[in-house]
Amino acid sequence: MAATQRIASLEEVPRESTFLFRVADELGDEREAILVANGVESTEETASADGVSCWLNYCQHFTHIKLDKGDGAPMREGEVICANHGAYFDADSGECTFGPCEGAYLTELEVTVDDGGIYLVDDEYEFVGTGPVDTDDADLTSTSNVEF
Ligand code: FES
């Protein structure tokens, strides 16, 4: 399952939000993940993964709830923000720096960058496709008063 799989190009990862895609775990269950390009300038020449990170798209406050509302989580000043109750996660380390799960870490997926492309190289997950999981209705009732 550890084959290198292309997720997206660096150009496709928004700088003010995250790039949403789907992975399957070892049991074949689909989950959502997000790519973050924190502080990465627009470039096709970038050859390292510095500033590029990848996380499962589930909060550490309620771990069955997605960070976003279906189109990637917002980012502000190098932090990923949970759209539900406003927890902040450092985009590089995944640590919650503010909010109800402060001190907890997002679940990291291993990626690498090569010639402007971002590839999933994680032993536990394989790339399925871009966008949200169609059948994931775990958090559709969640409401938010957080404005971005
Ligand atoms: S579910 Fe993310 S802060 Fe509550």
Q: Which atom of ligand 1 is nearest to the CA of 65?
A: 1
User: How high is the pLDDT of residue 42?
Assistant: 56
Residue 55 Ramachandran class (φ > 0 left, ψ -120 to 50 alpha, else beta): beta
Average pLDDT, rounded, for the chain? 87
Please give the distance, rounded to the nearest whole angstrom, from the Cα atom of residue 43 to the centre of ligand 1.
33
Ligand 1 residue neighbourhood (C-beta within 6 Å): 59, 61-62, 65, 82, 84-85, 87, 99-100
Atom 3 of ligand 1 has which residue's CA nearest to it?
85
Whether residue 9 has pLDDT greater than 70: yes
Q: Coil, helix or strand for 11?
A: helix
Please give the distance, rounded to the nearest whole angstrom, from the Cα atom of residue 90 to the centre of ligand 1.
15
pLDDT tens-digit profile of 86-118?
Answer: 999 999 999 999 999 999 999 999 999 988 899
pLDDT tens-digit profile of 63-83?
Answer: 999 999 887 898 999 999 999
The position carrying tokens 């399952």 is 1
Rg (CA), the chain: 14
User: How high is the pLDDT of residue 144?
Assistant: 56
Reference 81, options 64, 111, 100; nearest CA is 100
Residue 48 Ramachandran class (φ > 0 left, ψ -120 to 50 alpha, else beta): beta
Residue 130: pLDDT band (50, 70, 90) is very high
Whether residue 21 has pLDDT greater than 80: yes
User: How high is the pLDDT of residue 16?
Assistant: 87
Q: Which residue has better confidence, 126 or 48?
A: 126
Residue 53: pLDDT band (50, 70, 90) is very high
Atom 4 of ligand 1 has which residue's CA nearest to it?
85
Is the Cα torsion angle 55, 137, 128, 68 positive or negative in sign? negative
Domains of the chain: 5-129 (2.102.10.10)
